[in-house]
């Protein structure tokens, strides 16, 4: 049996294979963050195509937490209905469904929104200088993550992912490049991890214990003075007992710097985090070939593999991957006549 098509169970979430569609912004909501017809077709198609776990794009826990004005939102109960429809469509075709709860912090580009960050440092000349968060701001955002998790549960999601990567708000607290605070949320690694730790604690109060929580991290800042995989492993070890079940390993984007990318460029980071935290990890980064995904899993470098751009190009990638790996899987009954 191909490892890529071997099932895996984490808490009560049982996946039919190890293929994960990671969060990818679609910039297709209405101006108030509600799902539209595009989302039902987009995500439903990947479920029909055989993806084991679909994680929805970064979804704002606050209006000012969106990356763009066309991002999905989960800051209001009115968002639940559209999100629940996406969940129901995907589950009908055999996929489990997660949602990434995010806050852009200083990388929010929504016109008219006040942008906040741990420290008043702009991402680049193109961005506004953010307002340094007060203790009240911190409390409000933590509460927003909790409420987002409550709504996600009401919408029927199987798993939530807390977005602590790619230079967005939680990542801004974690990295010494962007967090220059002198209070209990800045300075030492333990202090910089406090914001994430408190978010996980609050989320776990409303997210059922039987359902897993993923944390997505940028394991490498690509700057000497920034975070590296060993730092993220230490941060995760400080936080994991509060309710972290899976780590989704990515890298970069907390500051503007050049990154040498190639297929599998982030896999070593995932290996280090897996070894040092003993948590299941999702690994990826420009993976397009089934054989490469199979190697990562079979050699114990990760527990699941995310396929991003390739699933945008080919929603039915899992069906072809099974053929390439000489593994027989059921095709959607409507497409059986075309089975390879």
Q: Residue 30 contacts by C-beta under 8 Å, 6 or more apart in sequence?
A: 36, 70
pLDDT at 340: 86
> Considering the domain boundaries, does residue 76 fall inside one?
yes
Rounded Cα gap, residues 33 and 59, in angstroms: 8
User: pTM here?
Assistant: 0.97
Q: At what angle do helices 135-155 and 80-92 cross, to 10 degrees?
A: 40
> Considering the domain boundaries, does residue 191 fall inside one?
yes
Q: How many domains does the chain have?
A: 1
Rounded to the nearest 10°, the torsion over CA 291, 297, 303, 308 is -20
pLDDT at 1: 83
pLDDT at 266: 98
> Considering the domain boundaries, does residue 332 fall inside one?
no
Question: Domain holding 235: CATH number?
Answer: 3.20.20.70
> Considering the domain boundaries, does residue 336 fall inside one?
no
> Considering the domain boundaries, does residue 112 fall inside one?
yes
> Considering the domain boundaries, does residue 333 fall inside one?
no
Residue-range definition of the domain harbouring residue 137: 3-327
- pLDDT in 10s for each residue of the chain, 340 residues: 899 999 999 999 999 999 999 999 999 999 999 999 999 999 999 999 999 999 999 999 999 999 999 999 999 999 999 999 999 999 999 999 999 999 999 999 999 999 999 999 999 989 999 999 999 999 999 999 999 999 999 999 999 999 999 999 999 999 999 999 999 999 999 999 999 999 999 999 999 999 999 999 999 999 999 999 999 999 999 999 999 999 999 999 999 999 999 999 999 999 999 999 999 999 999 999 999 999 999 999 999 999 999 999 999 999 999 999 999 999 999 999 999 8
pLDDT at 127: 94
> Considering the domain boundaries, does residue 321 fall inside one?
yes
Which position has the token pair 């959607």? 332
> Considering the domain boundaries, does residue 340 fall inside one?
no
């Amino acid at each position: 049996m191909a490892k890529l098509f071997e099932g895996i169970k984490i808490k009560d979430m049982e996946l039919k294979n190890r293929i994960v569609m990671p969060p990818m912004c679609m910039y297709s909501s209405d101006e108030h963050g509600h799902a539209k017809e595009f989302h039902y077709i987009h995500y439903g198609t990947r479920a029909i195509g055989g993806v084991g776990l679909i994680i929805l794009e970064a979804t704002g826990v606050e209006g000012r937490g969106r990356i763009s004005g066309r991002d999905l939102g989960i800051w209001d109960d009115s968002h639940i209905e559209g999100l629940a429809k996406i969940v129901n469509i995907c589950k009908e075709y055999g996929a489990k469904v997660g949602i990434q709860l995010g806050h852009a912090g200083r990388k929010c580009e929504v016109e008219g929104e006040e942008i906040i960050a741990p420290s008043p440092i702009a991402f680049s000349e193109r961005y506004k200088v953010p307002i340094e968060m007060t203790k009240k701001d911190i409390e409000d955002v933590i509460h927003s993550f909790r409420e987002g998790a409550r709504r996600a549960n009401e919408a029927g999601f199987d798993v939530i992912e807390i977005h602590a990567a790619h230079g967005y708000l939680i990542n801004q607290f974690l990295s010494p490049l962007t967090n220059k605070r002198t209070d209990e949320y800045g300075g030492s690694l333990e202090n910089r991890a406090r914001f994430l730790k408190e978010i996980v604690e609050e989320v776990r109060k409303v997210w059922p214990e039987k359902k897993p929580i993923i944390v997505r991290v940028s394991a490498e800042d690509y700057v000497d003075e920034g975070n590296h995989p060993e730092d993220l492993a230490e941060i995760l070890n400080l936080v994991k007992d509060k309710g972290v079940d899976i780590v989704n390993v990515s890298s970069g984007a907390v500051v503007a710097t050049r990154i040498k990318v190639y297929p599998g460029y982030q896999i070593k980071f995932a290996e280090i985090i897996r070894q040092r935290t003993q948590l299941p990890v999702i690994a990826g980064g420009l993976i397009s070939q089934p054989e490469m995904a199979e190697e990562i899993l079979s050699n114990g470098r990760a527990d699941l593999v995310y396929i991003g751009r390739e699933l945008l190009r080919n929603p039915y990638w899992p069906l072809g991957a099974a053929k390439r790996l000489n593994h027989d899987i059921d095709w959607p009954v409507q497409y059986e006549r075309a089975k390879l």
